[in-house]
């Protein structure tokens, strides 16, 4: 199914993902050119969300591979189901099967445990494959991904090369915990997602927390976008902004003054020194002071 | 279309010339991307960025080049006889139907959007030069330009510009994000030679150091963790085997113990190489866990123990930073303290330029130290071309040590240290 640029735009709106030209174009290209899309940006700017939204637009399954240090092929690609193989061998012995017959059985697809990558490749229809936080995986794993990303095929030594029927839409995300290799970057389209500006964040808040008063939403968005510029240890993510907006609703805050800012700051800031920093400047930052 | 292709090829060449790395495959992607999204300017802009720019730090370069190569389409510009002449001679594919032509590079397209603010300030300050300046300028407010004779044309153009900008800048996206500028700064500071450092640069480099330390530690640590040999971890192996009916298919090994490496670091903190030495000490302090013992010393004309507390260098006893460096004497002091410090498992890392103010070099002591230790490595923050010139005794030391590595910037320093460890 080939989507037009406008369909992507509509789809994103329907999936309630507030975005801009840059993001839309990158998503469209990734789908149109069937290329993997590498998304970078600060934590909590909505990178992973993109993959979920694409799956929603394409009405398909999202297969997620969470990367971590020490992730290896057995966890990412496939593993033989040893228990099942052993049982089969014992059963085979009793039937008096020869090794040749037996090995044909136990090294077939029935005995393969599919891990996310293999699952995405062998899926009968187009799926979305999210390789999350690729920067956390080891460099060896990154190199191993190259075959998958350029040819959409995977080699299983006992079975041969498996090629994708339908190329999955691949999304990789990275937080820049380490520099990714040039080879990987070359194979992907690139998209950088930064924190939204105040205006865009207001739209997000209004969309996701409709209970919050519109004026308050605008003030909250401006406040968050101001404290992100303070150089905090961990600037608040969009999800945290939304939590905060929910908190403001629950607390029945009518006006965003200094006190209101102070009461619910723990939702927004997760480090004590960040909190101290913002509190010391709360009176200057809060839209309304008493 | 061939024209557009040529233009794209030239555009890519210009990006490469500006230092952006673009492979052939990526340039093909770029062509496909443009074919997929069409020629609407803002979309084409983002499409090319997605295909060509793989590092947000290059984004500013890209935006600047894009504005230079693909000026706003004529439909959005004011039409004027003079201007039309210009454009026909510029020869954009005007008569091809269905294709929205681009003008070739123009003066006004060269104006960097970042400069706009300063330009508009300038135009307010010098109204007399306004008419002349108007052709090159791209100011956002045109109210005073309307008074002048070519004011009408100017404001027309302005309107077109504004329209295109409105289309071009959906809300607030194009300014590179906080994160991107930080990354760009880190990259720049990593490549900056130490001898060009100022105090401000040093502070910035310290900021950049945090991710470097993390990366460095991971790199050192991983080698220890990924042990494929050594002592078998019996418990873990049996547990894994239980899952597989008791067959010992995967052997699990105990993590290798940290290597029996003691590190002795000797860093010159006299004026000439101060920044390099401090950054190196801080980098190594972060990776302390990867070695059995790390002893750091700093010297100018004496030896002093060094430590990092909250990012500040603490030395005991305090050194006179403006004394004349005397590495010969320092070597003597180190040699006196050798018991328990310099053993067969010790690697000595010396950071300095070997400029000894023509005092005795004592290269013989270096030879003794090499004999007593596992290795002596010298890191020199000076350009190799200048080694051995003037009062530099580095050539004498170079003959004795196991390895001498230039480490002129943070990047080289990192590579050198990782190789040692």
Whether B238 and B289 map to the same domain: the answer is: no
Residue written as tokens 């108007």? Answer: B134
**Paired sense of beta strands B293-299 and B303-309, if any:** antiparallel
Whether B106 and B242 map to the same domain: the answer is: no
Task: Indicate the burial class of B26 (C-beta count within 10 angstroms; 0-12, 13-18, 19 or more).
Answer: buried
Domain for residue B87, yes or no? Answer: yes
Q: Find out whether A142 and A184 touch, Cβ atoms under 8 Å.
A: yes
Residue B79 pLDDT level (bands cut at 50, 70, 90):
very low
Smallest Cβ–Cβ distance between B215 and the set A40, A42, A178 belongs to A178
CA B188 to chain A, closest CA, distance in angstroms equals 15
Contact A182 B21 (CB under 8 A): yes
Which residues in chain A are contacts of B248 at CB distance < 8 A? none
pLDDT (0 to 100) of residue A246:
92
Give the integer Cα–Cα distance in Å for B31 and B39. Answer: 11
ipTM of the complex as predicted: 0.81
Write out the E strands in A148-219.
153-156, 160-163, 169-174, 189-192
Which residues in chain B are contacts of A176 at CB distance < 8 A? 179, 183
CA B6 to chain centre: 32
Domain for residue B11, yes or no? Answer: yes
Residue B191 pLDDT level (bands cut at 50, 70, 90):
confident
Whether B219 and B248 map to the same domain: the answer is: no
pLDDT (0 to 100) of residue B39:
85
Give the integer Cα–Cα distance in Å for A65 and A5. Answer: 28
Q: Is the pLDDT of residue B128 over 50?
A: no
What percentage of chain B carries pLDDT values higher than 90? 5
Q: Among candidates B348, B346, B334, B416, which has minimal Cα distance to B381?
A: B416
Whether B237 and B345 map to the same domain: the answer is: no
pLDDT (0 to 100) of residue B136:
43
pLDDT (0 to 100) of residue B38:
86
B146 or A220, which is more confident? A220
Contact A186 B173 (CB under 8 A): no
Prior bond of B317 cis (ω within 30°) = yes
pLDDT (0 to 100) of residue B31:
92
Q: Provide Rg for chain B, Cα atoms.
A: 31
Q: Return mean pLDDT, chain B.
A: 70
Average pLDDT over residues B322-330: 83
pLDDT (0 to 100) of residue A54:
92
Smallest Cβ–Cβ distance between A83 and the set B21, B42, B243 belongs to B243
Contact B178 A194 (CB under 8 A): yes
B239 touches chain A (CB under 8 A): no
Print the domain residue range for B369.
191-226+259-420
Domain for residue B108, yes or no? Answer: yes
Nearest CA in chain B to A89: B245
Whether B242 and B275 map to the same domain: the answer is: no
Whether B206 and B240 map to the same domain: the answer is: no
A213 or B115, which is more confident? A213
B42 touches chain A (CB under 8 A): yes
pLDDT (0 to 100) of residue B158:
46
Nearest CA in chain A to B23: A186
Whether B204 and B299 map to the same domain: the answer is: yes
B346 or B175, which is more confident? B346
B154 or B335, which is more confident? B335
pTM for this predicted structure: 0.61
Q: How many domains does chain B have?
A: 3
Give the integer Cα–Cα distance in Å for B207 and B186. Answer: 8
Average pLDDT over residues B220-247: 69
Interface test with A, best of B29, B57, B173 (most A CBs within 10 A): B173
Residues of chain A where predicted confidence (pLDDT) is lower than 70: 1-2, 286-290
Q: Give the single-character DSSP code of B261.
A: -
What is the CATH number that goes with domain A5-68+124-150+166-192? 3.40.50.300
Domain for residue B181, yes or no? Answer: no
Whether B129 and B206 map to the same domain: the answer is: no
Contact B243 A82 (CB under 8 A): yes
Which residues in chain B are contacts of A190 at CB distance < 8 A? 49-51, 53-55
Residue B229 pLDDT level (bands cut at 50, 70, 90):
low
Whether B290 and B404 map to the same domain: the answer is: yes
Average pLDDT over residues B190-216: 74
Least confident of A73-77, B51-55, B169-173: B169-173
Question: What contacts A102, CB < 8 A, 6 or more positions away?
Answer: A88, A89, A92
Residue written as tokens 């866990």? Answer: B289
Whether B243 and B274 map to the same domain: the answer is: no
Residues 55..114 of B with a Cβ closer than 8 Å to A: which? 55-56, 59
Domain for residue B180, yes or no? Answer: no
Whether B356 and B207 map to the same domain: the answer is: yes
Can you read off the two tokens belonging to residue A18?
A: 């507030």
B215 touches chain A (CB under 8 A): yes
CA B412 to chain A, closest CA, distance in angstroms equals 16
Q: Is the pLDDT of residue B179 over 60?
A: no
Least confident of A10-24, A175-189, B106-120, B347-361: B106-120
Where b means 16+ CB within 10 Å and e means fewer, A76-87 reads: bbbbbbbeebee
Contact B23 A186 (CB under 8 A): yes
Whether B295 and B276 map to the same domain: the answer is: yes
Contact B42 A186 (CB under 8 A): no
Which residues in chain B are contacts of A194 at CB distance < 8 A? 176-180
B127 or B52, which is more confident? B52
Q: Is the pLDDT of residue B254 over 50?
A: yes
Where b means 16+ CB within 10 Å and e means fewer, A43-52 reads: ebbbbbbbbb
Interface test with A, best of B165, B179, B247 (most A CBs within 10 A): B179
pLDDT (0 to 100) of residue B310:
64
Residue B169 pLDDT level (bands cut at 50, 70, 90):
very low
Smallest Cβ–Cβ distance between A21 and the set B42, B218, B249 belongs to B42
CA A251 to chain B, closest CA, distance in angstroms equals 31
């Amino acid at each position: 199914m080939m989507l037009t640029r406008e369909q992507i735009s509509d789809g994103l709106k329907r999936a309630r993902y507030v975005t801009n030209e840059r993001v839309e174009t990158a998503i469209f290209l990734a789908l149109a050119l069937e290329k993997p899309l590498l998304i970078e940006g600060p934590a909590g700017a909505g990178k992973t969300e993109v993959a979920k939204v694409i799956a929603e637009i394409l009405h398909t399954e999202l297969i997620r591979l969470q990367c971590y240090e020490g992730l290896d092929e057995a966890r990412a690609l496939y593993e033989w189901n040893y228990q099942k193989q052993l049982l089969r061998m014992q059963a085979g012995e009793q039937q008096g099967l020869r090794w040749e017959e037996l090995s044909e059985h136990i090294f077939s697809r029935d005995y393969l445990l599919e891990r996310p990558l293999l699952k995405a490749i062998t899926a009968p229809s187009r799926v979305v494959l999210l390789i999350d936080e690729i920067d956390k995986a080891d460099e060896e794993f990154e190199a191993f991904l190259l075959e998958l990303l350029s040819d959409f095929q995977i080699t299983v030594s006992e079975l041969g090369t498996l090629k994708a029927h339908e190329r999955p839409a691949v999304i990789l995300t990275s937080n820049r915990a380490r520099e990714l290799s040039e080879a990987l970057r070359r194979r992907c389209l690139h998209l950088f997602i930064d924190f939204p500006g105040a205006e865009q964040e207001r739209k997000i808040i209004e969309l996701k927390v409709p209970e919050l008063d519109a004026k308050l939403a605008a003030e909250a968005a401006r406040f968050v976008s101001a404290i992100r510029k303070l150089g905090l240890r961990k600037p608040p993510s969009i999800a945290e902004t939304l939590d905060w907006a929910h908190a403001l609703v629950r607390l029945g805050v009518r006006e965003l003054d200094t006190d209101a800012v102070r009461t619910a700051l723990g939702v927004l800031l997760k480090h004590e020194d960040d909190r101290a920093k913002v509190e010391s400047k709360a009176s200057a930052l809060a839209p309304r002071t008493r | 279309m061939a024209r557009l292709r040529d233009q794209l090829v030239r555009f890519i060449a210009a990006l490469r010339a500006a230092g952006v790395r673009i492979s052939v495959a990526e340039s093909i992607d770029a062509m496909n991307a443009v074919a997929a999204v069409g020629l609407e300017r803002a979309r084409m802009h983002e499409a090319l960025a997605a295909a060509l720019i793989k590092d947000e730090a290059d984004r500013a370069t890209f935006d600047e080049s894009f504005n230079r190569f693909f000026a706003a389409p004529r439909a959005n510009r004011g039409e004027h006889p003079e201007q039309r002449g210009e454009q026909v001679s510029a020869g954009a594919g005007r008569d091809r139907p269905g294709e929205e032509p681009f003008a070739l590079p123009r003066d006004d397209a060269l104006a960097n959007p970042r400069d706009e603010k300063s330009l508009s300030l300038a135009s307010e300050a010098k109204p007399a030069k306004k008419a002349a300046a108007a052709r090159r300028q791209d100011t956002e407010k045109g109210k005073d330009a309307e008074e002048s004779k070519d004011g009408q044309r100017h404001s027309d153009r302005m309107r077109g510009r504004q329209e295109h900008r409105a289309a071009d800048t959906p809300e607030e996206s194009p300014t590179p994000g906080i994160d991107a500028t930080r990354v760009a700064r880190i990259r720049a500071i990593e490549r900056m030679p130490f001898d060009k450092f100022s105090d401000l640069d040093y502070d910035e480099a310290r900021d950049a150091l945090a991710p470097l330390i993390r990366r460095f530690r991971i790199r050192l640590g991983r080698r220890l963790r990924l042990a494929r040999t050594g002592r078998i971890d019996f418990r873990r192996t049996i547990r894994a085997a239980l899952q597989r009916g008791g067959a010992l298919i995967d052997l699990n090994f105990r993590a290798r113990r940290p290597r029996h490496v003691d590190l002795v670091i000797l860093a010159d903190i006299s004026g000439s190489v101060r920044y390099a030495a401090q950054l190196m000490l801080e980098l190594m302090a972060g990776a302390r866990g990867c070695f059995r013992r790390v002893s750091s010393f700093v010297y100018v004309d004496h030896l002093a123990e060094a430590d990092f507390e909250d990012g500040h260098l603490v030395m005991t006893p305090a050194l006179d930073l403006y004394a004349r460096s005397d590495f010969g004497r320092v070597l003597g002091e180190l040699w006196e303290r050798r018991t328990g410090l310099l053993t067969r498992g010790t690697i000595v890392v010396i950071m300095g330029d070997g400029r000894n103010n023509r005092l005795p070099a004592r290269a013989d002591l270096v030879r003794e130290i090499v004999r007593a230790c596992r290795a002596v490595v010298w890191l020199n923050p000076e350009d190799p071309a200048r080694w051995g010139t003037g009062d530099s005794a580095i050539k004498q030391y170079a003959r004795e040590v196991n390895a001498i590595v230039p480490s002129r910037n943070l990047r080289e320093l990192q590579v050198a240290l990782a190789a040692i460890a």
